[in-house]
Amino acid sequence: CIEELRKANGRPLTAREIAEKVIQAEGKDPRDRKLGNDMVKRVGKSLKLLREQGVAESRGRAGNLAWFCRGPP
């Protein structure tokens, strides 16, 4: 998920946007709602860990956070 933030070149992404990119990169069905929801949760947990490590930053309110990579991409 950090790769997707780096590719965004400073543009904030939501956990859902990152999850969709990961699903697409893995060649899985993007219309699978259960997979999509599970991936959003997994990405969200990863992003929180990255924030704790100082690698990612979030803005917004819970449920509608925009994430971006800190420092140079």
pLDDT given at position 9: 87
* pLDDT tens digits for range 26-67: 999 999 999 999 999 999 999 999 999 999 999 999 888 999
pLDDT given at position 72: 57
pLDDT given at position 68: 93
* pLDDT tens digits for range 11-25: 999 999 999 999 999
Q: What DSSP assignment string belongs to 1-66? A: -HHHHHHTTT--B-HHHHHHHHHHHTT--TT-HHHHHHHHHHHHHHHHHHHHTTSEEEEEETTEEE
Q: What is the pTM of this model?
A: 0.87
